[in-house]
Amino acid sequence: MTNPSPGSGWWQASDGKWYPQQWEYAYFGASGEGGGAANLAYNNALQQANALGQQGWEMVNFTVQQGSTTSIGHLGDWCNITCFMKKPSVPQ
């Protein structure tokens, strides 16, 4: 008697039972300062995301924060991008 998969992403353990896909999660930040801060942050994030994509990670969300400050010791535009990633974890 066969025991078919209940759907995409499920895996069958040695006990013969089917289990849903498990995920690993990670995040990273990229930033840029000064003229073209958003472009710098974007390019930094793109390089990191591409490197992780080669390892099987996929981006599921991101946030962008940008602004300008004139505080002592820091003058100019800034941009921070945080990227949230996931990839299938290997069943144990």
Percentage of residues of the chain with pLDDT beyond 70: 89
- Reply yes or no on whether the pLDDT at 1 is more than 60: no
pTM of the model: 0.74
Domain range summary for the chain, segments of one domain joined by +: 25-88
Provide the pLDDT for residue 92. 64
Once rounded to an integer, what is the mean pLDDT over residues 56-85? Answer: 88
Please report where in the chains the tokens 């289990």 appear, as a residue: 19
Provide the pLDDT for residue 69. 78
